Chains A and B, each alone.
Chain A
Amino acid sequence: QKEVEQDPGPLSVPEGAIVSLNCTYSNSAFQYFMWYRQYSRKGPELLMYTYSSGNKEDGRFTAQVDKSSKYISLFIRDSQPSDSATYLCAMSGGSYIPTFGRGTSLIVHP
Chain B
Amino acid sequence: NAGVTQTPKFQVLKTGQSMTLQCAQDMNHNSMYWYRQDPGMGLRLIYYSASEGTTDKGEVPNGYNVSRLNKREFSLRLESAAPSQTSVYFCASSDPGRNTGELFFGEGSRLTVL
A residues near B (Cβ < 8 Å) are 6, 8, 32, 34, 41-46, 49, 51, 88, 90, 92, 96-98, 100-103
CA A96 to CA B101, docked complex, whole Å:
5
| Contact call B40/A41, Cβ cutoff below 8 A | no
Main SS of the interface on chain B? strand
A-B contact pairs, 30 of them (CB 8 A): A6-B42, A8-B40, A32-B101, A34-B100, A34-B101, A34-B102, A41-B108, A42-B108, A43-B4, A43-B92, A43-B105, A43-B106, A43-B107, A43-B108, A44-B105, A49-B100, A49-B102, A51-B100, A88-B42, A88-B43, A90-B101, A97-B33, A97-B101, A98-B103, A100-B42, A100-B43, A100-B44, A101-B42, A103-B42, A103-B43
| Contact call B90/A102, Cβ cutoff below 8 A | no
Chain A neighbourhood of B4, CB < 8 A: 43
CA A49 to CA B101, docked complex, whole Å:
9
Closest to B106 in A: A43
Number of A-B residue pairs at CB separation under 8 A: 55
Main SS of the interface on chain A? loop
Taking the complex as formed, is B94 at the interface, i.e. its CB lies under 8 A from any CB of chain A? yes
A96-B94, A97-B48 known; A44 and B43 CB under 8 Å? yes
Chain B neighbourhood of A98, CB < 8 A: 101, 103
| Most chain B beta-carbon contacts within 10 A, residue among A32, A43, A49, A103 | A43
